[in-house]
């Protein structure tokens, strides 16, 4: 006899489990030793374990202490987000992982350079919209502009979308930088 006490369900495999999963978007601020390979380590963790990276920025922030800050925007189920934080936190060069999405109000900014090509009405319209978005003209020729815009990601998305019919050529974005509001350290 094989002890088969549960009725045979068809969706029986453990990683095929299709329970509803809501994904969330989180911004993580990761303080790391600025040593060779640290970025490869973090990126390798994400690719190796199949986590998403929506945006990633990195640069040295405290030169004397050799510390860098990596800001990662990621999406996943709550269980996966917790895993990501724990996996990052146990890496040897990682000092701290702060989940800015849950640790209180935070500022998030991104910078983008946006090239638009056009003449006549289109050109005037592009310039008018740029003003409305507080985008600055950084370069201009008789048939093109390069705008610089800073803001939250969705504001930049929006600006890019409306530039499409006006002759959008290309976009370069920095990725998200983020920090906690108020006087405390992140």
185 forms part of the interface with other proteins (CB under 8 A):
no
What DSSP string describes 152-167?
A: -HHHHHHHHHHHTTTT
CB 30 within 8 A of CB 42: yes
User: What span, in angstroms and rounded, lies between the C-alpha atoms of 25 and 78?
Assistant: 9
Q: Coil, strand, or helix at residue 39? A: helix
Smallest distance, other proteins to C-beta of residue 63, A:
17
Contact segment (CB under 8 A) with other proteins among 38-46, 104-112, 118-126, 143-151 equals 38-46
Q: Does 1 bind other proteins (CB under 8 A)?
A: yes
Residue 79 found at the interface with other proteins (CB under 8 A): yes
d(CA 166, CA 126): 6
CA-to-CA distance for 178 and 152, rounded, in angstroms? Answer: 10
22 binds other proteins (CB under 8 A): no
Q: Which two tokens stand for residue 161?
A: 């979308």
Q: Which two tokens stand for residue 56?
A: 């990633």
Among 59, 82, 158, 172, binds other proteins (CB under 8 A): 82
- Say how many residues touch other proteins, by CB under 8 A: 34
Q: Decide: 76 and 24 in contact? Cβ < 8 Å.
A: yes
Annotate each residue in 147-176 with x if it binds other proteins (CB under 8 A) or - if it does not, as one string. ------------------------------
**C-beta of 92 vs 132, nearer to other proteins:** 92
Tokens in use for 44?
């390798």
Stretch that binds other proteins, among 20-28, 31-39, 112-120, 128-136 (CB under 8 A): 31-39
Work out how close the CB of 163 gets to other proteins at its nearest, in angstroms, rounded to a whole number: 40
Helix pair 153-163, 121-132: axis angle to 10 deg: 170
Q: Which of 89, 131, 143, 154 binds other proteins (CB under 8 A)?
A: 89
What is the binding site for other proteins (CB under 8 A)? 1-6, 8, 10-17, 19, 33, 36-37, 40-41, 44, 48, 79, 82-83, 86-87, 89-93, 95
């Amino acid at each position: 006899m094989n002890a088969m006490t549960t009725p045979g369900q068809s969706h029986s495999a453990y990683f095929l489990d299709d329970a509803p999963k809501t994904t969330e978007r989180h911004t993580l601020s990761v303080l790391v030793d600025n040593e060779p390979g640290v970025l490869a380590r973090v990126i390798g963790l994400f690719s190796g374990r199949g986590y998403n990276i929506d945006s990633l920025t990195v640069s040295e922030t405290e030169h004397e202490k050799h510390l860098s800050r990596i800001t990662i925007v990621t999406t996943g189920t709550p269980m996966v987000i917790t895993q990501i934080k724990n996996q990052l936190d146990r890496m040897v060069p990682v000092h701290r992982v702060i989940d800015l999405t849950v640790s209180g109000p935070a500022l998030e900014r991104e910078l983008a350079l946006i090239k638009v090509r056009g003449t006549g009405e289109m050109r005037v319209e592009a310039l008018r919209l740029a003003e409305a978005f507080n985008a600055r003209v950084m370069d201009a020729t008789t048939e093109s502009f390069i705008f610089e815009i800073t803001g939250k990601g969705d504001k930049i998305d929006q600006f890019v979308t409306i530039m499409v019919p006006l002759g959008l050529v290309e976009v370069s974005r920095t990725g998200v930088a983020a920090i906690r509001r108020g006087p405390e350290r992140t």
